[in-house]
Chains A and B, each alone.
Chain A
């Protein structure tokens, strides 16, 4: 199975900060990388797919980049509603696998 490692696991940031989360794959996955946001008690919400394509309705402050084994999710200016846990998922090879998550909390 392909293993995804996210860093950091936890970050503390302020409203307006630029935030970057990294997801590294144990082997090359092309651009088959998805980012989700999850809030407590809710289902994950799709943000970005194909490494850099913004899902419909997702604010443009979210962006994704990368290919192969290293990917990033960037929030250009953190908003109060962005405090949540973020997960990457790879769809290059089944079984699909998720990263362990990055929790973004208010500083």
Chain B
């Protein structure tokens, strides 16, 4: 069975600092991996996705994530945090043939201090 674990339910960084949100997955087949962002009282928005092409994936708003099979990880990073990055971030996994049936992690709330 597939699963996703996000380490740290809350992460706080200073504006301009590196953002690192951790995600580890478990999958018996080559996974499709995603990061979604949720702003307060809104739906989720796709940040980026890995679908077995390049292992370093670039997304919107300056975010990127690296797929590391040996570590079963897909951590999300951004070199310099902006106040507008404050939101909840969800890592998700799916099997390639399951369409939009995603398994989500618990989420990590990112706070950005001025």
- The answer to whether A and B belong to the same complex is no
